[in-house]
Amino acid sequence: MNEKRRKIKLLLHYDGSGYHGWAAQPGMATIQGTLQEAFYKLCGQAVTVVGSSRTDAGVHALGQTAHVVLNDCPVPTENLQKALNRLLPAEIVIADLQEVEDSFHAISSTVSKVYCYTICTDPLRPVFDIRRCWHYPVNLDSGAMQQAAQRLIGTRDFTSFAAAADQRQSSIRTILRCQVLSDPPWIRFEVEADGFLYNMVRNIVGTLTEIGRGRWNPEKIDEILEARDRAAAGPIAPPQGLCLVKIHY
Amino acid sequence: MNEKRRKIKLLLHYDGSGYHGWAAQPGMATIQGTLQEAFYKLCGQAVTVVGSSRTDAGVHALGQTAHVVLNDCPVPTENLQKALNRLLPAEIVIADLQEVEDSFHAISSTVSKVYCYTICTDPLRPVFDIRRCWHYPVNLDSGAMQQAAQRLIGTRDFTSFAAAADQRQSSIRTILRCQVLSDPPWIRFEVEADGFLYNMVRNIVGTLTEIGRGRWNPEKIDEILEARDRAAAGPIAPPQGLCLVKIHY
């Protein structure tokens, strides 16, 4: 192994409002693309910043994790975080940066991920948080939502909660914990799983709100899981309420 | 008095980040201009929305108050708020709307105003609040700032804290209360006065932070007030930390 080769692990916070999601796309403002540009400016080399999750447009993070390999970069590791943060726009910040073993991989080393989804039920839209929550001015029964959420825990086939476009081989995932927390007019949904299918959290939240507003009983969750059909679940919740809060390794 | 003439009082919340301040300017996105456009669309008439304070670009409000006169508008008062909020962009909302006596005037009926200024002292910039605070990653002595703030209370000549451009006849104002509240890494400054000179709150905050970081003692405030010279005070704090929270009538 080349002594000048370093593997760097990044902990990232970002407000995804103005970005076309994580994944770099030519001519588009993306989180990955913006980070890669900062590395290019600082280290003079094209790098790939590998993120644990490809968050969608408008989705936020307070705990995205990524890795990057630097070759012969003259900047010492202890100076990288400050220097990169100076180059990054206000909405993206590297909250922690460390050199790690070469065996670490932001995607394949992941043990579990935690997402949080925020709903505001106030009749008045919250102007300061409007890009960080789903403004859904409806009376929601958070107790019924919490009962429904408990029925999702465990190892199950989540096909009904995956975007039809999801091409992954297996739809089996394990939800380790999930919880509906009510702090009127706010409702927060927190979920930890070993992995998520495409749009899975937003589809679960959309379904929980149907239960919260009384369209379905909490037991409906069992029926939806059983159906293994996206059409059985509720509508998708909008992206701006979603935040990736933690990757466990 | 024409029976079809109605004077309407508005309570407004807005995130001023994307706006060139309150005052309507041709070809610019402004809070006043955006409100007037919504009234035009709904009521079919050009109105002037008179705001209690002309907040600057980037400044926010959770309690701006305004009035507007409607003539022969077919929309009943009880439907105006919802209908206007549907026409307004996400960052602006009418939090309350009432018909008031014709004698009410958003500017001249004002008894006092309350502003709040938010500083974040964390080394890491707060990506979710970066447009709603001043990110000033410096160790600030909030006790010294609070002592200094107390010395501002009373009826005084605030020339030293007014923008040089301020053309008002009198620089005498009465600060009724002001307070520095520390909730690390956050520092909040709240001030109530019978009126404010142009840039007065931001100039006070910039001066208090100079005291907080130890450049000056709290007693320096007396000297600055005495000088009646803008050059005697500290630098101006940036607009995004400022929020107009209440107009008392």
Chain B within 8 Å of A113 (Cβ-Cβ)?
A: no
Quick one: how many helices (H) and strands (E) in chain A? 5, 10
Instruction: Work out the pLDDT band at B1, boundaries 50, 70, 90.
Output: very low
| Inter-chain residue contact A128 with B92, CB threshold 8 Å | no
Lookup result for tokens 């018909």: B99
Tokens of A197: 């299918």
Q: Is B78 helix (H, G, I), strand (E, B) or coil?
A: helix
Evaluate if residue B3 carries a pLDDT over 80.
Answer: no
Give the pLDDT confidence score for residue B166 in this predicted structure.
67
Rounded to whole angstroms, how far apart are CA atoms B59 and B16? 5
Tokens of B79: 């439907």
Instruction: Work out the pLDDT band at A3, boundaries 50, 70, 90.
Output: low
Distances from the Cα of B102 to the Cα of A141, B64, B84, B109, B216, angstroms:
43, 19, 21, 11, 49
Give the pLDDT confidence score for residue B141 in this predicted structure.
98
Lookup result for tokens 């958070």: A142
- Which of B 65-84 lie inside 8 A of A, CB atoms? none
Give the pLDDT confidence score for residue B174 in this predicted structure.
98
Give the pLDDT confidence score for residue A1 in this predicted structure.
44
Which helix (H) or strand (E) element contains residue A70?
strand A60-71
Query: Is A56 designated active site?
Result: yes
Contact call for residues B9 and B100 (beta carbons, < 8 A): yes
Ranges of each domain in chain A: 6-100, 112-248
B70 Cβ contact list (under 8 Å, min separation 6)? B5, B6, B8, B39, B43, B45, B47
The per-residue pLDDT for range B158-197, each reduced to its tens digit, is 999 998 776 778 999 999 999 999 999 999 999 999 999 9
B62 CB neighbours in chain A (<8 A) are: 128
How many residues in chain A?
Answer: 249
Contact call for residues A174 and A194 (beta carbons, < 8 A): yes
Rounded to whole angstroms, how far apart are CA atoms B107 and B105? 6
Architecture of the domain spanning B6-100: 2-Layer Sandwich (3.30)
The per-residue pLDDT for range B114-164, each reduced to its tens digit, is 999 999 999 999 999 999 999 999 999 999 999 999 999 999 999 999 987
| Closest by CA position to A8, among listed A49, A61, A62 | A49
Rounded to 5 degrees, what angle do the CA atoms B43, B49, B51 make? 155
Q: What are phi and psi of B183, to 5 degrees?
A: -145, 75
B12 CB neighbours in chain A (<8 A) are: none
DSSP for A126-194? Answer: -TTTTTSSEE--S---HHHHHHHHHTT-EEEE-GGGS-TT---S--EEEEEEEEEEEETTEEEEEEEES
DSSP for B108-156? Answer: TT--EEEEEEEEE--SS--TTTTTSSEE--S---HHHHHHHHHTT-EEE
The per-residue pLDDT for range A232-246, each reduced to its tens digit, is 999 999 999 999 999
Q: Is B173 helix (H, G, I), strand (E, B) or coil?
A: strand
Contact call for residues A193 and A174 (beta carbons, < 8 A): yes
- Nearest CB partner across the interface for B130, out of A85, A90, A131: A90
The per-residue pLDDT for range A96-148, each reduced to its tens digit, is 999 999 999 999 999 999 999 999 999 999 999 999 999 999 999 999 999 99
Chain B within 8 Å of A93 (Cβ-Cβ)?
A: yes
- DSSP assignment letter at B169: S
Give the pLDDT confidence score for residue A30 in this predicted structure.
98
The per-residue pLDDT for range B6-16, each reduced to its tens digit, is 999 999 999 99
Give the pLDDT confidence score for residue B164 in this predicted structure.
76
Nearest-by-CA chain A residue for B91:
A127
Catalytic residue among B15, B56, B72, B129: B56
Chain A within 8 Å of B157 (Cβ-Cβ)?
A: no
Q: Is B100 helix (H, G, I), strand (E, B) or coil?
A: strand
Give the pLDDT confidence score for residue B168 in this predicted structure.
73
| Inter-chain residue contact B93 with A124, CB threshold 8 Å | yes
Region B82-110: what's the mean pLDDT? Answer: 97
| Closest by CA position to A176, among listed A154, A145, A146 | A154
A6-100 and A112-248 agree in CATH topology: yes
Tokens of B175: 């600060």
A127 CB neighbours in chain B (<8 A) are: 13-15, 90-93
Percent share of chain A, pLDDT over 70: 98
Evaluate if residue A166 carries a pLDDT over 70.
Answer: no
The per-residue pLDDT for range B35-48, each reduced to its tens digit, is 999 999 999 999 99
Neighbours of A172 (CB within 10 A): 14
Contact call for residues B121 and B42 (beta carbons, < 8 A): no
| Rg of chain B taking only CA atoms, in angstroms | 19
The upper half-sphere exposure of residue A172, i.e. CA atoms within 13 Å in the direction of its Cβ, equals: 2
Give the pLDDT confidence score for residue B23 in this predicted structure.
96
Region A136-164: what's the mean pLDDT? Answer: 96
Q: Which residues share a beta bridge with B187?
A: B119, B182
A239 Cβ contact list (under 8 Å, min separation 6)? A16, A56, A57, A58, A59, A202
Pairing of strands B5-14, A112-120: unpaired
A93 CB neighbours in chain B (<8 A) are: 124-125, 127
ipTM computed for the complex: 0.90
DSSP for B195-241? Answer: ---TTHHHHHHHHHHHHHTTSS-TTHHHHHHHHT-GGGS-PPPPGGG
What kind of fold does domain B112-248 have according to CATH? Alpha-Beta Plaits (3.30.70)
The per-residue pLDDT for range A15-29, each reduced to its tens digit, is 999 999 999 999 999
Over the range B52-72, which residues count as b (16 or more CB within 10 Å of their CB) and which as e? Answer: bbebbbbbbbbbbbbbbebee
Alpha carbon of residue A129 to chain centroid: 18
